[in-house]
Amino acid sequence: MKKLFTCVLLVALCLTAQGQQPNEKLRQLEGYLRQQGYNIKHTQSNSRGKEGVRHTYQAFIAENTFAPSFVEAPSEEVRQMVLSKHDSINAQRMKKLGQAIDSIRITFALLGKQASESYMYEYHKEDVDTIKYSLAFRQDDDTLLATRIKNNVYFSNAREVASFDYQKSYNTNNKGYSMLGSYVHWCDEPNGITYDEMKPFDIAAFETLIQPALKPVKKLKGVKTYPVYWRHDKGFNDETVNGNLSHKTTRNSMYGDNSHTGLTTGTYYFIPAQYEKEANDLYKQLDSLTLDYITRHPEQPYEYDFTKRIPVLNPGDLLHGVSYEDSDEYFLKWTRDDAGFHILLLTSKGELWMPRDWRKLKSYINGKLIYRSEK
């Protein structure tokens, strides 16, 4: 498989990347990593204050060879059988990891010939590995501004950048090796709209678009919807309630004549765990509707974030309608836990403070928690 992929890359990379779409060869690499089971996280945003959309693709590679722990093995034979199975699984994982790293190495080496600037650093000694790659394509004829910190290189004015950072080290406590890799690729794509030409995110229009997708799910037995009301007023000391918050954003706002006030309202949807298929289908449908909406409305500032897997425990933003000229902000959040799936459609005036017990709350007002009385 590795040889086949190498040949495909050699042929494909003979072509010169043109235009300002994300580099086709890097996208092919990301497709290969996805096929090998690595999650590729895709985000895009047009809210950076300059013309265009920034696409970002990220993959995290994490493996280890930690020895299995035994509380009490019934016999030495069982213990050896478990160790043998563990070694077999480790060998398969290490093979997949090696193929992924080789594919990344080939891509960066060959694209380095086309890039405006490229850096490749590797250090190997015994069983310790360090890899740091980076490459950049400049914007038109601009001179790239690069900063080098030890063996890392950062670009501040490129059109497109890709980097890979990998470290393998021995963990004494777990008696095995830890391998951590981070791949990041971003590209700025012009859309012809300047920041001054943008308009506030249209919350009403977006929610009207997605309501038909939510309607069938609300009819499932056990699915519940609750109103959201989280408020912190002028003069409320936020330092006293940090233990009650799971998330807090800070931004300048004119709401309530105070830069740290906020009112968040909306709807919370709970889908029991038994409806996993329906929840995953809804997640994909809402993603499709979201991507369609932001594509048709490039004048509205947003941050879009999609992974194939619904975030676990902590809510993640599928969509963030970013404030423009102090307009309201909008959040479409998803998460899952043992109980089921949770969707939050939130409108926030000022700062968003998310209470730690948001799943159970009727309201949060200046640190006072009022819980729902479930029947």
Q: What is the pLDDT of residue 239?
A: 61
Say yes or no to pLDDT of 4 above 50. no
Q: What is the pLDDT of residue 68?
A: 74
Say yes or no to pLDDT of 2 above 70. no
- Compute the mean pLDDT over every residue in the chain, rounded to the nearest whole number: 86
Average pLDDT over residues 22-46: 93
Q: What is the pLDDT of residue 244?
A: 73
Q: What is the 3-state secondary structure (H, E, C) of the chain?
A: CHHHHHHHHHHHCCCCCCCCCCCHHHHHHHHHHHHCCCCEEEEEECCCCCCCEEEEEEEEEEEECCCCCCCCCCCHHHHHHHHHHHHHHHHHHHHHHHHHHHHHHHHHHHHCCCCCEEEEEEEEECCEEEEEEEEEEECCCCCCCEEEECCEEEECCEEEEEEEEEEEEEECCCCEEEEEEEEEEEEEECCCCCHHHCCCCCHHHHHHHHHHHHHHHHCCCCCEEEEEEEEECCCCCHHHCHHHEEEECCCCCCHHHCCCCEEEEEEEEEEEHHHHHHHHHHHHHHHHHHHHHHHHCCCCCEEEEECCCCCECCCEEEEEECCCCCCCEEEEEEEECCCEEEEEEEEEEECCEEECCCCCEEEEECCEEEECCCC
pLDDT category, 269, cuts 50, 70, 90? very high
Say yes or no to pLDDT of 96 above 60. yes
Say yes or no to pLDDT of 184 above 60. yes
* Alpha carbon distances (Å) from 247 to 168, 267, 296: 32, 17, 31
Q: What is the pLDDT of residue 190?
A: 87
Average pLDDT over residues 247-260: 61
Higher pLDDT, 361 or 15: 361
pLDDT in tens, 208-219: 999 999 999 999
Q: What is the pLDDT of residue 52?
A: 86
pLDDT in tens, 332-353: 999 999 999 999 999 999 889 8
Average pLDDT over residues 297-316: 89
Higher pLDDT, 82 or 152: 152
Higher pLDDT, 356 or 21: 356
Q: What is the pLDDT of residue 74?
A: 74
Say yes or no to pLDDT of 20 above 70. no
Say yes or no to pLDDT of 17 above 60. no
Q: What is the pLDDT of residue 241?
A: 63
Say yes or no to pLDDT of 9 above 70. no
Say yes or no to pLDDT of 1 above 50. no
Q: What is the pLDDT of residue 252?
A: 58
| Entry pTM | 0.80
Say yes or no to pLDDT of 370 above 80. yes
Q: What is the pLDDT of residue 217?
A: 96
Q: What is the pLDDT of residue 8?
A: 41
Question: Given CA atoms 303, 304, 305, 309 in this order, what sign does their dihedral have?
Answer: positive
* Least-confidence region, from 120-124, 170-174, 264-268: 170-174
pLDDT category, 7, cuts 50, 70, 90? very low
pLDDT in tens, 217-239: 999 999 999 999 999 988 786 66
- For 337-363, give one letter per residue: b (16+ CB within 10 A) or e: eeebbbbbbbbbbbbbbbbbebeebee
